[in-house]
């Protein structure tokens, strides 16, 4: 599998993607033979297929002209998805009030809470989760140092 210079590709594409009104959420090399470049974009509004097509049409020629990827490759442009990872305080602030799934350290072990993100501040986050067996909801306070990972969670 070839190894592509992802930081160089990011530096090449990010100014154009930002100029188009999007955020470059992530870039990764993937696929069966490692010949797929997956670019995730985000924005203030939900990302549409049209947004992905537009970005793909613009960045494809930039990549081809720069020659940073030797040989044939596939370009995939997508959104981070409905259950996107939360990558730090700005993401938690942006999605305050939404349903989340958070893995966190609790003493010597790791725990998981799923519920509505109800507070984000300098100390950490608060998630309101359903109580056990029909009991009143519980609020779980998690310090930033204890947050292992988080993502948006779909409500079914």
Tens digits of residue pLDDT in 104-152: 999 899 999 999 999 999 999 999 999 887 788 999 999 999 999 999 9
Kindly report the CATH class assigned to 89-152: mainly beta
Q: Where are the domains of the chain?
A: 6-78, 89-152
- Give pLDDT, residue 2: 74
Say whether pTM exceeds 0.75.
yes
pLDDT digits (tens, 9 = 90+) for 55-82: 999 999 999 999 999 889 999 999 999 8
Q: Using an 8 Å Cβ cutoff, are 120 and 127 in contact?
A: no
Q: Provide φ and ψ at 111, rounded to 5°.
A: -125, 165
- What is the rounded average pLDDT of the residues 36-50? 94
Kindly report the CATH class assigned to 6-78: alpha beta
Q: What angle do CA 156, 138, 80 make, to 5 degrees?
A: 40
- Give pLDDT, residue 31: 86
Per CATH, 6-78 and 89-152 having the same topology is answered: no
Q: How confident is the model at residue 32 (pLDDT cuts 50, 70, 90)?
A: confident
């Amino acid at each position: 599998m070839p190894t592509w210079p992802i930081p160089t590709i990011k530096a090449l594409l990010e100014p154009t993607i930002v100029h188009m009104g999007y955020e470059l959420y992530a870039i990764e090399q993937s696929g069966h033979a490692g010949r797929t470049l997956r670019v995730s974009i985000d924005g203030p509004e939900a990302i549409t297929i049209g947004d992905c097509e537009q970005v793909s049409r613009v960045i494809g020629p930039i990549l081809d002209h720069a020659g940073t990827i030797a040989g044939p490759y596939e370009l995939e442009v997508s959104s981070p998805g409905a259950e996107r990872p939360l990558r730090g305080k700005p993401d938690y602030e942006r999605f305050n009030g939404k349903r989340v799934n958070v893995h966190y350290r609790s003493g010597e072990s790791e725990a998981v809470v799923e519920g509505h993100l109800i507070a984000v501040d300098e100390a950490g986050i608060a998630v309101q989760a359903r109580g056990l067996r029909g009991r009143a909801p519980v609020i779980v306070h998690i310090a930033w140092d204890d947050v292992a990972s988080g993502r948006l969670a779909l409500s079914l």
